């Protein structure tokens, strides 16, 4: 009973952070390999499109499609993929901080990174702020993106990309 009352209280307290059930967004990101450097130093730039639905309190279930250009030693690659995860928003006056966590799958035009594979897993952790401007939400944030095949084809073919970067986007509430 106490758990149910806690969720009801959270839902009422954070309803202002995401008062609408459905939110959609488009974003651009630029990331660079931050650590765990392998034989190649990679940088990524691209776009993402996401949609989320508020579940309880500040927490929303989220799906995101990604398209990134990976600049690396050797042949550059295009990586397309998707993630499934959660976004939490907290209302604070005119700005709403948010936190993202997600996992997903990706496919590349050539092996990413060098000595890697075309099929990879994704992990995402990010955060930032959303600011309402003329009926849209401007989002500014930072993101960690991990790209790896998780040793699926052996240790010798398991380099990874640990990238950090900036994300800028726009979002819309009440999309459904």
Q: Are 52 and 60 in contact (CB under 8 A)?
A: yes
75 or 155: which carries more pLDDT confidence? Answer: 75
Q: What residue ranges define each of the domains in the chain, with the CATH number in brackets?
A: 2-173 (2.40.160.20)
pLDDT of residue 93: 74
Is residue 48 helix, strand or coil?
strand
At residue 19, the pLDDT reads: 56
Q: Tens digit of pLDDT for each residue in 75-122?
A: 999 999 999 999 999 987 789 999 999 999 999 999 999 888 999 999
* CA-wise closest residue to 132 among 124, 140, 121: 140
Q: What's the predicted TM-score (pTM) here?
A: 0.86
For residues 50 and 65, the answer to whether their CB atoms sit within 8 Å is: yes
Residue 115 φ/ψ, nearest 5 degrees: 75, 0
Query: In this predicted model, what pLDDT tens digit does every residue of 24-74 receive, in sequence order?
Result: 999 999 999 988 667 778 999 999 999 999 999 999 999 999 999 999 988
């Amino acid at each position: 009973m106490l758990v149910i009352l806690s969720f009801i209280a959270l839902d009422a307290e954070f309803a202002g952070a995401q008062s609408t059930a459905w939110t959609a967004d488009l974003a651009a990101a630029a990331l660079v390999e931050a650590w765990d450097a392998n034989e190649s130093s990679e940088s990524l730039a691209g776009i993402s499109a996401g949609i989320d639905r508020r579940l309880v309190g500040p927490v929303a279930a989220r799906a995101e499609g990604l398209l990134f250009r990976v600049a690396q030693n050797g042949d550059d690659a295009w990586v397309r993929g998707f993630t499934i995860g959660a976004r939490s928003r907290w209302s604070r006056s005119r700005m709403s901080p948010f936190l993202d966590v997600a996992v997903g799958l990706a496919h590349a035009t050539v092996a990413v990174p060098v000595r890697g594979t075309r099929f990879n897993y994704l992990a995402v952790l990010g955060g930032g702020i959303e600011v309402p401007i003329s009926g849209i939400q401007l989002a500014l944030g930072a993101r960690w993106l991990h790209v790896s095949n998780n040793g699926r084809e052996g240790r010798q073919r398991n380099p990874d990309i640990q990238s950090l970067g900036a994300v800028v986007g726009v979002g819309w509430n009440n999309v459904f």
